[in-house]
Amino acid sequence: MKMLLMGNEAIARGAVEAGIHVATSYPGTPASEVFATLARYAPELGFYAEWSVNEKVAVELAAGAAYAGGRAIVSMKQMGLNVASDAVMSLAYIGVKGGLVLVVADDPGPHSSQTEQDTRLFARFAGLPVLDPSSPAEAYTMTKYAFDLSEELGLPVILRPTTRCCHACQDVEVGSLLPPRPVPGFTRSPDWVILPSLSARKHRWLVEQEERARLLFNESPFNTATLEGRTGVITGGVSYGYVVETMDQLGVRLSLLKIGTPYPLPQEKVVEFLAHLDQVLIVEEQEPVIEEQVIRLAWRQLIPCHISGKHDNFLPRTGEFNVDIVRSALARFLGMKSTPASVPAPPELPQRAPTLCAGCPHRGSFYAFKRAARGRDVIFAGDIGCYTLGAAPPLKALDTCLCMGASLGLAQGLARTEPQRRVVAFIGDSTFFHAGLPALANIAYHRAPVTIAVLDNGTTAMTGHQPHPGLALDLAAVARAWGITCVLEADPYNLEATVRAASRALAEPGPSLVLLRRSCPQLTASDRCCTVDPSLCTGCGLCLEELGCPAMSWEKDHVTIGPNCNGCGLCAQICPAGALREVRK
């Protein structure tokens, strides 16, 4: 049966056909749909599936399942692996009994990430085999295989798709679903208890497994070569499709080696390929992972083939590839002319950057804190989520953003260094549970003079509205229990009350916390909207210039409101002319 599947759905499909027992994840673009799809299969097939509090817990939970001989899959974005890395590095030494697949989606570009880090490098660092799918169909096949490979080697296996595999759809031939089989169960053994003596032994074992994986990969159908003369290309991942199309565009046929297992490199396959060639161009997105291994191999085996790629600037280490980039590199490598088609230049086009939605409660929260901080030098530390968009004009409400949960840590460092300035840490509810809890303990224990503003919209909005522990657990109660006495709540749709709460929190000498509660408008149908009375609107533009709401725009000399307004009423609360009103739709 053929199905249209997005790469992430194809990965999920491969996993359920492999008979998984446990699936865990923390949301992150471009990986989120892997788990979202698995969660839909879980009730029917009877495996356990959860959005975990963060990637580290997700990996540990899945590892526990694999200790008991179950098959488990964990999915995350590339930076999620940083959070989970403590567990992953040690787990490589301990190994697994049931198959454990770590799906780690990379985001070259980046489109929705803080870094362009390459998970293939991480795999090499951890000593874990990594599979690099070129398409959704291959991601499906690789996922199924990854469980067998994991059990054969006794190691977690990393599947590393990139955005153009995750968020690409393809017609995929699928097989039948497999309910989880009975597990052999956890057996007590000193081999589960990591101690230096065990680590010394297991490190040697891990190095041996690399060689075993390499031998398996030499025979792998994911590494394929076609010979067409003494000039060739080695490629992997989504770049494979770009290379095939580029050769058609340039009208050339070259020898081509596609690597689906970039680490450990299938050396025999590469040596055999290079032996037929005088020159080869290596085309891979992100870091030169294949390239450096190939150069080392060619040098060691004294293969007289000229190797080009990133080291001699044919291709960049940064950004996302496409056919146009690959075409210009390959044309240059072949000494051909490749002039891009000329197109007429359009007139000036408006910038269209992502924006907080109309009716987003974060807009009210930021606006209220800015108002409460007026006349004082307050630093606003931000965090990861939709609310990062609060940094954009006109709100310009964030002075920092680093990584998940960092607002709380950075705020403490800033406050300790410049005690005369108050610092507010803005953090979303999902991010708070992901990485903010230990930082809150630090603030409470050390009595750090900072204000925490929790933007609680009852969901993980940016990644597609996933649930999180804050839906059931009371973080304000935790803050109180840990001795933070100034804990306030406010509805960001009520500007006056929110400004009042913010002012009180900012005036506190010690730590304070404001819980800003209002659900994401994308999850709730509103029966309200705002209207403008053009006869009252003076055209002062205050609402537009201070709030930057995408539902509002100019119509000649007055403001107009579009159909995307959800009636949050913030504009009506700041209009000095009383021209804006919140009404029932």
Partner 1 sequence: MNIIIAGVGGQGIILASRALAEAALEAGLAVRTAETIGMAQREGAVVSHVRIGLPDYGPLIPRATADILLAFEPGEAARHLACLRKGGSAVVATSPVMPVSVSLGASAYDVDAVLRFLEGAVEHPYFLDAAALAREAGSIKALNMVMLGALSRLDLPVGEQNLLEAALKLLPPQTETVNRRAFALGRQALEGLEK
Smallest gap from residue 161 Cβ to partner 1 (A): 12
Tell me which residues in 80-139 interact with partner 1 (CB under 8 A): 111-112, 135
Tell me which residues in 473-502 interact with partner 1 (CB under 8 A): none
Nearer to partner 1, 42 or 168 (CB): 168
Nearer to partner 1, 137 or 516 (CB): 137
Smallest gap from residue 67 Cβ to partner 1 (A): 34
Nearer to partner 1, 81 or 360 (CB): 360
Smallest gap from residue 543 Cβ to partner 1 (A): 10
Instruction: Give the pair of three-digit tokens for residue 401.
Output: 């953003």
Smallest gap from residue 519 Cβ to partner 1 (A): 17
- Residues in CB range of 29: below 8 A, 6 or more apart: 77, 107, 111, 112, 113, 462, 463
Q: Is residue 269 a contact point for partner 1 (CB under 8 A)?
A: no
C-alpha closest to that of 450 among 361, 539, 406, 511: 511
Quote the DSSP letter at residue 584: E
Binding-site member from 30, 359, 364, 569 for partner 1 (CB under 8 A): 30
Instruction: Tell me how far apart the alpha carbons of residues 269 and 271 are, in angstroms, rounded to a whole number.
Output: 6
Looking from the CA of 393 toward its CB, the CA atoms found within 13 Å total: 4
C-alpha closest to that of 508 among 374, 399, 372: 372
Nearer to partner 1, 245 or 491 (CB): 245
How many angstroms separate the Cα of 516 from the Cα of each of 74, 78, 565? 32, 30, 21
Nearer to partner 1, 85 or 355 (CB): 355
How many angstroms separate the Cα of 535 from the Cα of each of 346, 526, 532, 558? 38, 26, 9, 9
Instruction: Tell me how far apart the alpha carbons of residues 564 and 239 are, in angstroms, rounded to a whole number.
Output: 39
Tell me which residues in 358-377 interact with partner 1 (CB under 8 A): none
Bridge-based pairing of strands 255-259 and 224-226 is: antiparallel
Nearer to partner 1, 187 or 553 (CB): 553
Instruction: Tell me how far apart the alpha carbons of residues 411 and 424 are, in angstroms, rounded to a whole number.
Output: 7
Smallest gap from residue 88 Cβ to partner 1 (A): 24
Nearer to partner 1, 323 or 497 (CB): 323
Neighbouring C-beta atoms of residue 113, cutoff 10 Å: 20
| Mask for 2-21, x = binds partner 1 (CB under 8 A) | xxx-x---------------
DSSP SS3 for 16: helix
Number of residues that bind partner 1 (CB under 8 A): 60
Say what the alpha-carbon torsion angle 534, 540, 542, 548 is, to the nearest 10 degrees: 70
Neighbouring C-beta atoms of residue 109, cutoff 10 Å: 16
The answer to whether 59 and 82 have CB atoms below 8 angstroms apart is: no
The answer to whether 518 and 429 have CB atoms below 8 angstroms apart is: no
Tell me which residues in 418-447 interact with partner 1 (CB under 8 A): none
| Mask for 320-359, x = binds partner 1 (CB under 8 A) | --xxx--x------------xx-xx-xxxxxxxxxxxx--
Tell me which residues in 553-582 interact with partner 1 (CB under 8 A): 553-554, 563-564
Tell me which residues in 295-324 interact with partner 1 (CB under 8 A): 322-324
Tell me which residues in 186-205 interact with partner 1 (CB under 8 A): none
E-only strand ranges, 363-449 = 378-381, 422-428
Q: Is residue 211 a contact point for partner 1 (CB under 8 A)?
A: no
Instruction: Tell me how far apart the alpha carbons of residues 51 and 226 are, in angstroms, rounded to a whole number.
Output: 43
Smallest gap from residue 359 Cβ to partner 1 (A): 12
| Mask for 229-268, x = binds partner 1 (CB under 8 A) | ---------xxxxx-xx---x-------------------
Cα 142 → chain centroid = 21
Tell me which residues in 142-171 interact with partner 1 (CB under 8 A): 164, 167-171
C-alpha closest to that of 455 among 355, 545, 394, 380: 380
Nearer to partner 1, 147 or 321 (CB): 321
Instruction: Give the pair of three-digit tokens for residue 369.
Output: 């804190």
* Contact residues: partner 1, CB under 8 A: 2-4, 6, 29-30, 33, 111-112, 135, 164, 167-171, 238-242, 244-245, 249, 322-324, 327, 340-341, 343-344, 346-357, 386, 389, 393-394, 462, 464, 544-545, 548-550, 552-554, 563-564
